[in-house]
């Protein structure tokens, strides 16, 4: 093989002539291929020229530029020749696109771009030494217009090819037309669009650092007109679509379009366009038609169209303040539905409301509304807050409550009482636990939790005293739930009641054991056919009132009563027992009837009936003298006895009915009348008012003790904040409490400042 004669490194014309042939193959005829030997010869010629010394070069070989580049660095002339080659080549390429438009222009542009950048890569490696040394030194000396060969190729493409085909926006117009075709449902070659877009990204060159890119060309030449075209397109389409379709159909269309645009970024746009594209689409498709969706929201709520609500939520979530009108309407909707549900179960008066039906109505509305928030609104905090606000409103103020804020907590306490009583036979253990959890759902929204506590405490006391609790575990579970919700202080007395029940059992077991040693004595626990059990309850923890009447203990019970008093006095020196006869229950066995019955009575009823062991007919005066009961208590005791026809009233006389019969062996005569229950509710509210008065004063003293001095407005705000967990205080009540504390000399007004208070130690 003959050895090729390479040009002298000092002969620039010969050197470039040799190199230009190879460069031309790389840039225009790369498919013809090039042997490794030829490539290495080209590389060697470029290398030799760049490493030759000017000081040793003949004067006529320096070329016309005459640029001094240092003793060992040649390259300026070669760089200039290469740059001119790119310009000449690109003018020819650009001329080929003069008559092309639309897709044909894009195809030509992409084909030439691929050929050009591929060839430029090879040329870039061919002049590696030029890049690594001469170009590097030029840039270090501050020559900003000097680039490595590949970047030089891109600079020239941008100036002489892109500028030519983009004149009057031809190239980008062709791109936008393809994108519009795709939006119209036509199939396009997305790879074609992507390659053009990628080329625009590649043309973003950083003049100060050729290794870095910017997106100026992409943004200025393509992204801006693309976003404008997007806005125009969707404005026209959305307005046309709405004129011919329903709101729900539009939401489906908008949802699909937004997905398409986001996927368009993945297909062929630069990732940075996504934010602005989404904002543009949101502005046109969502904000531009938000009022229409807000107006449709109520209709979807009424029809419980969860899927459409979910779709509306997702659309309006995309714009600022898009959800606020929905939250406001949702709150009003829940309130309206809640009030309607209560109205269905409310009786003619507040006293006629069935507690179980009432609570069930509240829970039903809350459950369906919460399900909607979870399913349609992704449990978003704003909708949950709207639900809570609406529930707090309609659960405390509705037709069943009237003007009373205490009615809802009272009904909830009654419902809880019904669940926890033995009479609730339909509820299994797990079912009871679930039901109690539901009670706590309503309890969360009750404003006057202190009212619930009072009623619940009173009802718990009755369940314990009457041994009517369905389950000790369920009782303990409910107290634990209340404790978790409101703290130890809220349930302290409730827990103490259970402690007393346990202590009472131990006390009675001990009493029976002592009495059993002398079972034949008259005062023994079972002497004279008397079976005795006493609950000894700590004063101050049980919401039980003292008797309101004198009471003469029947002879039949006196011996047992005396023996227990003596036993307890010996066991607990210094303690005094206060007997709550109005709460006592007795079972009396009948011997005078043809059928043996057991009469379940109160202590007062027992005292009345035991008088008939000595006489068949007694007057009101005789019964009063024998029992010691006042008129009200005596009438209350006689009422159920007469109503059941065990006693027959004849004017002022009450006769024993010797023909009395019952289908049941056990006859319950101890039935409270409604007037007593109503009076009991009034008593509870009186104690609530007193407790609130004391709590307000204690809270004010605690705040002032810590602050020493405080302005009136700030003091009121802090009091409201601290007691609102128990009840919603009224400002006039707080002012009254402040005045009372001033009278008691806990506080005083700061001299010269009427709205400021000072704590008195």
pLDDT confidence of residue 210 = 54
Question: Is residue 320 predicted with pLDDT exceeding 70?
Answer: yes
- What is the tens place of the pLDDT at every residue in 273-305? 999 999 999 999 999 999 999 999 999 999 999
Q: How many residues does the chain have?
A: 761
Question: Computed over its alpha carbons, how large is the radius of gyration of the chain?
Answer: 48
Mean pLDDT of 677-685: 67
**Top-confidence residue, 403 or 119:** 119
Which of 73 and 752 is assigned the larger pLDDT?
A: 752
CB atoms closer than 10 angstroms to residue 469: 18
Pairing of strands 756-759, 747-749: antiparallel
- Over residues 566-572, mean pLDDT: 89
Q: What is the pLDDT of residue 153?
A: 94
Least confident of 82-86, 264-268, 459-463, 544-548: 544-548
Q: Which is nearest to 656 in space by CA: 622, 615, 624, 625?
A: 615
Tell me 521's DSSP state.
Answer: S
By mean pLDDT, which of 52-56, 310-314, 614-618, 737-741 is the weakest?
Answer: 52-56
How far apart (Å, rounded) are the C-alpha atoms in residues 320 and 324? 9
Q: State yes or no: pLDDT of 307 exceeds 70.
A: yes
pLDDT of res. 676: 56
Q: Which residues contact 317 (CB under 8 A, 6 or more apart)?
A: 323, 380
Question: Any idea which of 60-64, 192-196, 511-515 has the lowest mean pLDDT?
Answer: 60-64
pLDDT of residue 3: 59
What is the average pLDDT across 5-22?
84
pLDDT in tens, 258-268: 999 999 999 99
Domains along the sequence of the chain with CATH: 12-165 (1.20.1310.10), 504-581 (4.10.1030.10), 584-671 (3.30.230.130), 676-759 (1.10.10.10)
Distance of CA 89 to the CA centre of its chain: 65
Residue 63: what pLDDT? 43
pLDDT at 348: 67
pLDDT on residue 425: 64
pTM tops 0.75, yes or no:
yes
Give the mean pLDDT of 231-254. Answer: 96
On the question of pLDDT at 81 being above 60, the answer is yes
Is 71 a residue whose pLDDT tops 50? no
Q: What is the pLDDT of residue 309?
A: 97
CA 426 to centroid of chain Cα atoms = 34
What DSSP letter does each residue of 287-308 carry, written as one string? GGGHHHHHHHHHHHHHTT-HHH
**Strand ranges of the sheet holding 756-759, from the earlier edge strand across to the other edge:** 709-711, 756-759, 747-749
| CA-closest candidate to residue 606, choices 676, 551, 645 | 551
Interior CA angle at 524 toward 520 and 529, to 5°?
Answer: 80
Residue-wise pLDDT tens digits, 207-234: 565 556 789 999 999 999 999 999 999 9
Q: What is the mean pLDDT of residues 24-40?
A: 87
State pLDDT tens for residues 401-425: 888 888 999 999 999 999 999 877 6
DSSP 16-50: HHHHHHHHHHHHH-GGG---HHHHHHHHHHHHHHH
């Amino acid at each position: 093989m003959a050895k090729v004669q390479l040009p002298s490194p000092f002969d620039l014309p010969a050197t470039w002539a040799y190199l230009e042939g190879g460069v031309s193959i790389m840039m225009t005829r790369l498919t013809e291929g090039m042997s490794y030997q030829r490539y290495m010869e080209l590389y060697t010629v470029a290398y030799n020229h760049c490493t030759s010394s000017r000081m040793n070069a003949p004067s006529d070989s320096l070329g016309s530029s005459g640029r001094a580049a240092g003793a060992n660095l040649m390259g300026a002339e070669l760089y200039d020749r290469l740059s001119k080659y790119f310009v000449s080549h690109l003018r020819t390429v650009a001329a080929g696109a003069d008559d092309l438009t639309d897709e044909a222009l894009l195809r030509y542009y992409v084909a030439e771009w691929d050929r050009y950048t591929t060839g430029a890569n090879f040329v870039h490696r061919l002049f590696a030494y030029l890049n690594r040394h001469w170009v590097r030194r030029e840039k270090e000396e501050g020559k900003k217009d000097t680039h490595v060969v590949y970047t030089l190729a891109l600079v020239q493409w941008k100036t002489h090819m892109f500028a030519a085909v983009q004149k009057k926006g031809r190239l980008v117009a062709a791109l936008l037309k393809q994108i519009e075709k795709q939006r119209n449902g036509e199939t396009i070659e997305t790879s074609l669009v992507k390659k053009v877009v990628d080329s625009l990204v590649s043309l973003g060159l950083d003049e100060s650092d050729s290794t870095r890119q910017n997106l100026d060309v992409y943004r200025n030449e393509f992204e801006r007109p693309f976003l404008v075209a997007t806005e125009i397109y969707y404005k026209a389409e959305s307005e046309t679509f709405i004129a011919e379709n329903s709101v729900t159909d539009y939401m489906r269309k908008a949802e699909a379009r937004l997905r398409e645009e986001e996927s368009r970024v993945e297909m062929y746009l630069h990732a940075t366009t996504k934010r602005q594209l989404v904002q543009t689409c949101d502005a046109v498709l969502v904000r531009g038609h938000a009022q229409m969706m807000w107006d449709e929201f109520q209709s979807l709520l009424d029809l419980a169209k969860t899927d459409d609500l979910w779709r509306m939520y997702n659309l309006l979530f995309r714009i600022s303040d898009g959800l606020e009108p929905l939250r406001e309407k949702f709150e009003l909707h829940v309130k309206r539905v809640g009030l309607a549900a209560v109205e269905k179960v409310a009786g003619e008066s507040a006293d006629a409301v069935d507690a179980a039906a009432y609570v069930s109505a509240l829970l039903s509305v809350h459950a369906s509304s919460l399900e909607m928030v979870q399913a349609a609104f992704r449990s978003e905090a704003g909708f949950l807050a709207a639900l809570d606000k609406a529930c707090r409103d309609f659960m405390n103020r509705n037709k069943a409550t009237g003007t009373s804020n205490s009615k809802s907590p009272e009904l909830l306490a009654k419902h809880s009482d019904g669940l926890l009583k033995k009479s609730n036979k339909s509820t299994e253990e797990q079912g009871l636990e679930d039901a109690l959890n539901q009670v706590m759902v309503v309890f969360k929204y009750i404003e006057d939790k202190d009212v619930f506590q009072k009623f619940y405490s009173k009802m718990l006391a009755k369940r314990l005293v009457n041994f009517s609790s369905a389950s000790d575990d369920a009782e303990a579970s409910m107290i634990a739930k209340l404790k978790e919700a409101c703290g130890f202080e809220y349930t302290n007395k409730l827990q103490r009641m259970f402690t007393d029940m346990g202590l009472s059992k131990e006390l009675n077991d001990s009493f029976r054991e002592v009495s059993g040693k002398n079972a034949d004595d008259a005062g023994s626990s079972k002497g004279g056919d008397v079976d005795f059990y006493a609950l000894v309850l700590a004063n101050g923890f049980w919401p039980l009132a003292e008797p309101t009447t004198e009471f003469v203990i029947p002879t039949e019970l006196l011996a047992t009563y005396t023996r227990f008093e003596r036993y307890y006095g010996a066991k607990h020196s210094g303690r005094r027992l206060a007997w709550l006869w109005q709460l006592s229950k007795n079972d009396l066995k009948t011997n005078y009837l043809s059928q043996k019955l057991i009469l379940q009575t109160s202590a007062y009823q027992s005292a009345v009936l035991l008088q008939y062991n000595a006489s068949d007919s007694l007057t009101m005066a005789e019964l009063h003298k024998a029992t010691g009961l006042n008129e009200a208590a005596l009438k209350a005791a006689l009422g159920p006895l007469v109503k059941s026809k065990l006693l027959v009233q004849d004017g002022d006389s009450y006769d024993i009915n010797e023909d009395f019969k019952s289908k049941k062996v056990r006859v319950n005569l101890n039935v409270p009348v409604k007037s007593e229950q109503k009076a009991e509710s009034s008593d509870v509210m009186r104690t609530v008012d007193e407790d609130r008065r004391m709590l307000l004063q204690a809270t004010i003293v605690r705040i002032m003790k810590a602050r020493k001095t405080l302005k009136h407005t700030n003091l009121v705000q802090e009091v409201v904040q601290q007691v609102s967990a128990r009840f919603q205080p009224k400002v006039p009540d707080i002012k009254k409490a402040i005045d009372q504390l001033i009278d008691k000399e806990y506080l005083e007004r700061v001299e010269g400042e009427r709205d400021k208070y000072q704590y008195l130690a």
